Structure 1
Amino acid sequence: MPERRRWASWSVAVLLAVWAVVRLTGFELGWFLTQLMTLTPYGAVLALSAAALLAFRNRPAALVALGAAVAMLAAVLPRVFAGTAPEGGASLRVLTLNLFGRADSAEVVRLIDRHDVDVFTALELTPGQVSALKAAGLERRLPYQVLEASEGPTGSGVYARFPLTRINGLFTVIGHNMPAARVAAPPGAVEVVAVHPNPPLPRLYGEWNASLAALPAARPGVRRILAGDFNAGLDHRAFRDLLGKGYRDAAAQAGQGLTPTWPSGRAIPPIITIDHILVDASIGVRGVEVSDVPGTDHRAVFADLRLG
């Protein structure tokens, strides 16, 4: 094999191996590696393809690429296998959506009606969007609200069918507004947080890490749901650390953990999964559905939950 082709083969294999090691160890130093981790499901496919191509040119390099593929697939594939759905428990139907400040309000309300939603967390909620949702009839379905609307991307809110009580001081809010509320659901109270940290861009990377780390841990005797645009996915160490505080990703529990949620409504299809509904161990997941909504660059995530 010509030296240049051998060098190229090993470069590809080693880079894929480094990607796999960073994913497995969580050794994400800086924003670039963090952004790269978002694409790990595609990295697994790339590594598998590279292993197949290199098998006829450089067998040792092919084995390295295959090892990287196996490592990444081991991290990614469990998300497509649904766990055991709970048989009993009271239903709580939750929807989360980053409205982008200009989502089609009538479509949002139709989606809430279709899923018979009990709790809705709205991100990038502007005062204008609050008015538009009200005009579209949202308050007839979800009359209770704890809102922190704001111009730009910082606003968020919680809407519910049942009475809400604002929770102050549950955690240190870093980044966008992230209101927390106690929902007086019929089987017992549930705490809900509308989550929306800033994205892990170069100048915001440290803040993104701190924001996810500041979110509250699950607590025995307290039902809690974190729902929103986390600007993070299951391949980020910071997000896995949050799950380690006692939460499960509803979509992964339902076998929908690889369903992408961003971007939506653009020339390219959705490619990454950064919108989530997290639940503590006392809450079961019956099903999850991801839907497009006109006017926003995020997809809506709905979860049919069961309260134990």
Structure 2
Amino acid sequence: MEPSVAERRGTESPPEPPARFARVTRLARALRPPRGRGRRIAAWCAIPPLATASVVLGCRAADTDGITPVPQLLAFLPWLLVPVLLGLLLAVAARWAAGCVWALVAAAATGWFTQPYGSPAGPEPSGPVVARLRVLSANLEYGGATDGLLSTLRRERPDLVSVQECDVRCATALDSPAVRESYPYRNIVTGTPAEGSAILSRHPLRNEEGIDATLAMPRSVATVRGQRVHVQVAHPMPPEPGGVDLWRAELGRLRAYAAGRGDEATMVAGDFNATQDHAAFRSVLDTGLRDSARVTGASRTPTWPSLTAPLLGVQIDHVLVSDTLRPRTARFLDLANTDHRALLVDLDLYAAP
């Protein structure tokens, strides 16, 4: 006698779930919050640091600086490893598989973006070396480091100097007979202690109209061994809360200036208030200028704040140069009474193509 339908249904094994359904089930189990009160608390505590790091890394990947507080956090991008590792430890404690994967992906992205941006020095120019130049860039913090600057000028004897935050004391000191003897050519713009800037040169200068900005960014053309070198001071406003658009706009003016120089020897030096992790600064580099610190292998050496540098800080002071100016060395100098470290670059000036 054949078994009834009910008997057949009771003896038949249930059908195997489709493979796709099985994969979805495994994913759902991985994403499921961990069991136990302590584990759930650890998982919830892991979310804020991982989410914060992910937002900043997402903006970095999207090539945008976003809105406050993203631009401020982007400046410290390598230090995102701290909240990421905290999130990983909490996810491990919670036995939260999805949280562990999330943290590992964020750590890998941070490591990837920590790499130096832009290409190192390209092919060496075909022309001969016309001159060897030493360039100094220093932010004096409202003129407080004027004495340190004067000592550095006597000791290091740079050929071209870019000074930011040069107050009245600074301007008076740079106009003294002793300084004039060594640097007979200058372009000094005075203003409030933060606004003043200056260009000093051992070579003849022709001063031009600088970039229109909140803080003075003067411009000059130096004649070195018969060759013109365009020198532009950089000092855009910092990306403070409520001032990100202004910061972005002033960096955009620096980019427009750099893009308009073509093959001419060009140098943009100063306090950019930006790091390689800011899209607005990378757009300046994308015009073809190279960061001297990057070329010499020091792209992550901090210049601000000097109180904690070089152990902790960010590099916001840069000397950017065009192809016919080839950096050989870059050194970071500590000056008293300023929150910035000075940057001293030795480079070769090649004949124009």
Structure 1 partner of 2:142: 101
- Say if 1:51 and 1:155 are closer, same or farther in 2 by CA, change over 3 A: same
Which letter does structure 2 place at the counterpart of 1:164?
A: L
Structure 2 partner of 1:186: 225
Q: Counterparts of 2:307 and 2:224 in 1: how far apart (Å)?
A: 34
Establish whether residue 62 from structure 1 lines up as the match of residue 104 from structure 2.
Answer: no
- Say if 1:47 and 1:111 are closer, same or farther in 2 by CA, change over 3 A: same
Tell me the CA shift for residue 305 of structure 1.
Answer: 1.4
TM score, norm. by length of structure 1:
0.89
Equivalent residues in 2 for 1:217-236, closer than 5 Å:
217-218=258-259, 219-236=261-278
Structure 1 partner of 2:73: 36
Establish whether residue 264 from structure 1 lines up as the match of residue 306 from structure 2.
Answer: yes
- Say if 1:145 and 1:274 are closer, same or farther in 2 by CA, change over 3 A: same
Q: Counterparts of 2:241 and 2:79 in 1: how far apart (Å)?
A: 22
Counterpart among 277, 283, 295 of residue 253 in structure 1: 295
Which letter does structure 2 place at the counterpart of 1:47?
A: V
Which letter does structure 2 place at the counterpart of 1:109?
A: L
Q: Counterparts of 1:191 and 1:245 in 2: how far apart (Å)?
A: 15
Aligned with 2:154: secondary structure?
helix
Aligned with 1:167: secondary structure?
strand
Per-residue CA shift, 1:88-125, capped at 9, x if unaligned? 73311110111123334343123223333000011111
Tell me the CA shift for residue 10 of structure 1.
Answer: 3.7
Counterpart among 166, 188, 199 of residue 125 in structure 1: 166
Equivalent residues in 2 for 1:102-251, closer than 5 Å:
102-135=143-176, 137-168=178-209, 172-186=211-225, 188-215=227-254, 216-218=257-259, 219-251=261-293
- Residue ranges of structure 1 left out of the alignment (5+ in a row): none
- Residue ranges of structure 2 left out of the alignment (5+ in a row): 1-33
Q: Which of the pair has more CA radius of gyration?
A: 2
Per-residue CA shift, 1:230-266, capped at 9, x if unaligned? 1111111110111112211111111111111112247
How many equivalent pairs are there?
306
Aligned with 2:150: secondary structure?
helix
Provide the alpha-carbon RMSD of the alignment.
2.7
Aligned with 1:212: secondary structure?
helix
Q: Counterparts of 2:323 and 2:228 in 1: how far apart (Å)?
A: 15
Q: Counterparts of 1:157 and 1:214 in 2: how far apart (Å)?
A: 19
Establish whether residue 76 from structure 1 lines up as the match of residue 117 from structure 2.
Answer: no
Q: Percent identity?
A: 30
Tell me the CA shift for residue 227 of structure 1.
Answer: 0.5
Per-residue CA shift, 1:163-207, capped at 9, x if unaligned? 110122x6x412211110001112611000111111111232211
Q: Counterparts of 1:26 and 1:211 in 2: how far apart (Å)?
A: 18
Q: Counterparts of 1:150 and 1:269 in 2: how far apart (Å)?
A: 33
Q: Is the 8 A contact 1:146 1:158 kept in 2?
A: yes
Structure 2 partner of 1:19: 56
Tell me the CA shift for residue 267 of structure 1.
Answer: 11
Which letter does structure 2 place at the counterpart of 1:125?
A: C
Q: Is the 8 A contact 2:190 2:196 kept in 1?
A: yes
Aligned with 1:94: secondary structure?
strand
Tell me the CA shift for residue 272 of structure 1.
Answer: 1.8
